[in-house]
C-alpha cells in the first residue's frame, strides 16, 4: 500500500470539498442555492415544522423531496406536522454514508449535536463569501489605522488588491464556462482596487461546493517575509543549539536566538523540493524559532486558517507557478496570485480534523509496517543464526561427517589435514566440524587499483556495486583500461557466486554480497578493485551456505576493521581466520533450501507492505 499516494488522495478530496460532507444551514435562505440532483450524490436533510419539531430524511433530489413534504406526500410525519422551512442539509457521496448519517441525526447524540451546533449557533454556518467580506473589512480597518512595520507585517493598500465574485449569467457561446446552452450559470469575475473587472472563469480549475468561494491567496493571508533573516552556516557553527532554524523544506539547524514566537505558516520559496515534493512544501511552525530567506512566512487574521492553507499548498503541484530551471523559485507574487478554494471557517475545521484523523491512522499503519519490516529483518537474522548452529534442519546420521569432507579437501590440495585446535565458539551437532574460512576457500584476496577509461570490455567491481539493501549490481561500475590487463591474473576474474566483502570505507566496510548480477553483453570480464575482497569457495562446499554464514557475520565484520577512524580496512587475513561451522555437504544443501524457502515467504510479505 502506497501511503504517500493515500495521503495525497485525502488532501485532493479535502480541497475539492469531498472529504467531509458539504453542509449548509439553509434556514432563512432561498431554495435557489440548493445543488441540483447529481449522480453519485445523496442529501441528508432536516425540515423545521410549524410546531417547532424537526424531520430528518435523505434523498437524491432535495428540492423535489422538500416540495413533496410541503404537499403532504413526503412522509407520515409531515402530513400532520406542516413544514415551515428547509433548515439544514448535507451532501454525501454514497447511499450507505447518507443512511448512517440520517440514523445518527435521529439518535439522542445526533439531536443534541444538531441543537447545539446548528440551531443555536447560526454564526458557525456563515459562508466563505461572508468570511472573505469580514477579512476585507478587517484588513481595510487596519490599513486605515496603520500598523507598525515588523510585528504582524505592515499592511498597505495595493492597487493590485482584488476580490473574486460570481454573477449569474445567460449562456454565451463565446464564454461557455461549465454549463450548457439554454441554461443560466454563475460566472467568476475579479474586481481590482482601481475598479477594473476581469472575467476569470477560464482560470477557475474546478467547481467548489455551495458555501465555498474562490479567492487569491493574498486575500486571506499576511505576508511577513520582511521579518525573516538568513544566517550562514559558518555563523551557525559555534552557537548554542536551542531554537529551530527553518529553511525551504523544514528545520535544517538550530540556533541560539529566535525571530518568531507564534504559530505561522512557512512555505518553501526555492529549491528542487518545490517540484519533487519529496518533503512537504508547506509546514506550520510554533513556539520560538528562526526562519531564513528560503521560506515564505505567512500569517492570517484568524490563525486557525493557517492549517487549511498549509494542507492546500501541500495538496497541489506548484509546477505552473515556479520560475527558473537550475534553481526553481516560488516568488511572493506567484504565491499571492495563487487561486484558493476557500470553505467557511467551520468547514475548514471539520476538514482539518478529518485530515488529521486519517493521517493519524496512516501514521499508525506506517509504524506497523516499519515494525513488521523490522520483525522480518530480525526473522531473517534468526533463521541464519539457527542455520549456522545446526538447528534449522534435522541432521541425517547417514551423511558423510564434515571432518571427512575436510580431510578430502586437504588431500586434494596435497597438504596435511589440521584439526581445529582453538576453543570452539559454540557446540555443534556431532557430524559438523569447526574449521577456518580459508580451509574451504581457493582464494581470499583484495583486488587491485584499476586505471579507468571511458569505455572498454572490462569492468571494475567497486564498493558501490555491493549495494546496502539489495543485490550486487554493475549499474555504477566503471570501465578498466584494457592496456593494464597484464597485471590481472586469470584467477582474479570474478566468477558467478563469488562472495564479495567491502574492505574499506566508512559506512560500507564489512558489507557482504554475492556476485550473481547480470554482466552486460559487451563486457568480457569483471575484476574487483582494491576496496573489495573476493572470497572464492571450493567446489566441494556449497557456496550459498558459505555466503549465508558470512552475511550473518556482517555486523561483526563491520566492527573489526584496523587502522585510524577514517582509514579503517578489513584485511584478507582477518577474513581468512574466521571460525567456520561446517556441516556435511548434503546438510549444507538442505540448509540453503530451507533458508531460501523461508526468505521467499518473508520477502513476499515485505513486498506486500511496500
**DSSP string covering 511-558:** -EEEE-SPPPTT--EEEEBTTEEEEEE-TTS-HHHHHHHHHHTHHHHT
- Alpha helix positions (H), 71-211: 76-80, 95-106, 108-113, 128-145
Residue with cell 597438504: 415
pLDDT of residue 143: 77
Residue pair 542/589 in contact (Cβ under 8 Å)? The answer is yes
What is the Cα–Cα distance from 15 to 601, expressed in whole angstroms?
A: 41
DSSP string covering 444-455, please? EEE-BPPPEESS
Residue 390, by phi and psi: left (phi above 0), alpha (psi -120 to 50) or beta? left
SS3 443: strand
What is the Cα–Cα distance from 550 to 181, expressed in whole angstroms?
A: 76
Residue pair 290/245 in contact (Cβ under 8 Å)? The answer is yes
Run of H or E residues at 268:
strand 264-268
Residue pair 256/369 in contact (Cβ under 8 Å)? The answer is no
Nearest CA among 233, 237, 371, 378 for reference residue 292 = 233
Tell me the pairing of strands 512-515 and 339-342: unpaired
Which CATH architecture fits 127-146+153-343? Alpha-Beta Complex (3.90)
The phi, psi pair for 602, rounded to 5°, reads -65, -40
pLDDT of residue 181: 47
CATH number of 386-609: 3.90.220.20
Distances (CA, A) of 275 to 268, 318, 328: 11, 7, 8
SS3 465: helix
Task: Kindly indicate whether the domain formed by 17-125 is annotated with CATH number 3.30.70.
Answer: no
Return the domain boundaries, the chain: 17-125, 127-146+153-343, 386-609
Q: List the chain residues with pLDDT less than 70.
A: 1, 146-157, 170-185, 565, 610
Taking each helix axis from N to C terminus, what angle separates 3-15 and 345-388, rounded to the nearest 10 degrees? 170
Run of H or E residues at 91:
strand 83-92
pLDDT of residue 152: 47
What is the Cα–Cα distance from 65 to 601, expressed in whole angstroms?
A: 57
Domains 17-125 and 386-609 share a fold: no
SS3 371: helix
- Give the neighbor-by-neighbor strand order of the sheet with 282-285: 222-223, 295-299, 264-268, 282-285
Count other C-beta atoms under 10 Å from residue 270's C-beta: 19
What is the Cα–Cα distance from 261 to 330, expressed in whole angstroms?
A: 25
pLDDT of residue 61: 96
SS3 content of the chain, % helix, strand, coil (to 5): 40, 25, 40
SS3 216: strand
Contact partners, residue 203, CB within 8 Å, separation at least 6: 188, 339
pLDDT of residue 172: 55
**pLDDT tens, position by position, 427-445:** 999 999 999 999 999 999 9
Amino acid at each position: 500500500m502506497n501511503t504517500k499516494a493515500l495521503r495525497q488522495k485525502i488532501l485532493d478530496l479535502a480541497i475539492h470539498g469531498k472529504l467531509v460532507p458539504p453542509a449548509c444551514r439553509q434556514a432563512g435562505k432561498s431554495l435557489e442555492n440548493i445543488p441540483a440532483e447529481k449522480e453519485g450524490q445523496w442529501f441528508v436533510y432536516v425540515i423545521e415544522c410549524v410546531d417547532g419539531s424537526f424531520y430528518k430524511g435523505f434523498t437524491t433530489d432535495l428540492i423535489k423531496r422538500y416540495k413533496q413534504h410541503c404537499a403532504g406526500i413526503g412522509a407520515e410525519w409531515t402530513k400532520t406536522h406542516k413544514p415551515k422551512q428547509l433548515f439544514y442539509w448535507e451532501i454525501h457521496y454514497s447511499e450507505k454514508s447518507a443512511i448512517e448519517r440520517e440514523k445518527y441525526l435521529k439518535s439522542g447524540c445526533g439531536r443534541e449535536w444538531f441543537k447545539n451546533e446548528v440551531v443555536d449557533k447560526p454564526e458557525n454556518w456563515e459562508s466563505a463569501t461572508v468570511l472573505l467580506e469580514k477579512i476585507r473589512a478587517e484588513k481595510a480597518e487596519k490599513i486605515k489605522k496603520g500598523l507598525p512595520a515588523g510585528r504582524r507585517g505592515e499592511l498597505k493598500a495595493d492597487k493590485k488588491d482584488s476580490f473574486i465574485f460570481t454573477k449569474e449569467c445567460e449562456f454565451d457561446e463565446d464564454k461557455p464556462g461549465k454549463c450548457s446552452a439554454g441554461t443560466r450559470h454563475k460566472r467568476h469575475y475579479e474586481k481590482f482596487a482601481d475598479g477594473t473587472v476581469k472575467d476569470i472563469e477560464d482560470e477557475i480549475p474546478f467547481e467548489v461546493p455551495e458555501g465555498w468561494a474562490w479567492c487569491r491567496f493574498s486575500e486571506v493571508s499576511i505576508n511577513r517575509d520582511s521579518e525573516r533573516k538568513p544566517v550562514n552556516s559558518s555563523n551557525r557553527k559555534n552557537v548554542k543549539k536551542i531554537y529551530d532554524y527553518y529553511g525551504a523544506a523544514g528545520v535544517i539547524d538550530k540556533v541560539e536566538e529566535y525571530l518568531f514566537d507564534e504559530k505561522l505558516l512557512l512555505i518553501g520559496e526555492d529549491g528542487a523540493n518545490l517540484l519533487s515534493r519529496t518533503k512537504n512544501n508547506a509546514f506550520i511552525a510554533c513556539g520560538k524559532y528562526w526562519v531564513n530567506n528560503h521560506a515564505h512566512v505567512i500569517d492570517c487574521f484568524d490563525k486557525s486558517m493557517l492549517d487549511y492553507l498549509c494542507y492546500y499548498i501541500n495538496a497541489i503541484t506548484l509546477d505552473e507557478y515556479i520560475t527558473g530551471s537550475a534553481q526553481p523559485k516560488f516568488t511572493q507574487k506567484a504565491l499571492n496570485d495563487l487561486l484558493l478554494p476557500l470553505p467557511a471557517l467551520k468547514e475548514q475545521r471539520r476538514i482539518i480534523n478529518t485530515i488529521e484523523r486519517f493521517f493519524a491512522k496512516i501514521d499508525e499503519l506506517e509504524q506497523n509496517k516499519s515494525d513488521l519490516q523490522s520483525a522480518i529483518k530480525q526473522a531473517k537474522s534468526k533463521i541464519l543464526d539457527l542455520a549456522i548452529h545446526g538447528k534449522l534442519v534435522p541432521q541425517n546420521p547417514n551423511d558423510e561427517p564434515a571432518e571427512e569432507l575436510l580431510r578430502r579437501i586437504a588431500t586434494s590440495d596435497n597438504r596435511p589435514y589440521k584439526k581445529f585446535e582453538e576453543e570452539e565458539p559454540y557446540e555443534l551437532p556431532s557430524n559438523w566440524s569447526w574449521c577456518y574460512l580459508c580451509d574451504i576457500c581457493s582464494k581470499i584476496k583484495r583486488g587491485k587499483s584499476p586505471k579507468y577509461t571511458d569505455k572498454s570490455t572490462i569492468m571494475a567491481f567497486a564498493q558501490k556495486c555491493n549495494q546496502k539493501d539489495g543485490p550486487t549490481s554493475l549499474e555504477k561500475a566503471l570501465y578498466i583500461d584494457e592496456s593494464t590487463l597484464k597485471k590481472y591474473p586469470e584467477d582474479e576474474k570474478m566468477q558467478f557466486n563469488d562472495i564479495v566483502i567491502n574492505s574499506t570505507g566508512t559506512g560500507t566496510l564489512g558489507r557482504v554480497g554475492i556476485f550473481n548480477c547480470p554482466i552486460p553483453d559487451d563486457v568480457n570480464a569483471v575484476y574487483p578493485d582494491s576496496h573489495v575482497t573476493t572470497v572464492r569457495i571450493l567446489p566441494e562446499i556449497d557456496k550459498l551456505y558459505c555466503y549465508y554464514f558470512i552475511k550473518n557475520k556482517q555486523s561483526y565484520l563491520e566492527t573489526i576493521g584496523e587502522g585510524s577512524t577514517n582509514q579503517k580496512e578489513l584485511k584478507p587475513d582477518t577474513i581468512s581466520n574466521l571460525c567456520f561451522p561446517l556441516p556435511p555437504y548434503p546438510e549444507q544443501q538442505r540448509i540453503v533450501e530451507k533458508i531460501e524457502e523461508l526468505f521467499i515467504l518473508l520477502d513476499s510479505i515485505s513486498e506486500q507492505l511496500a
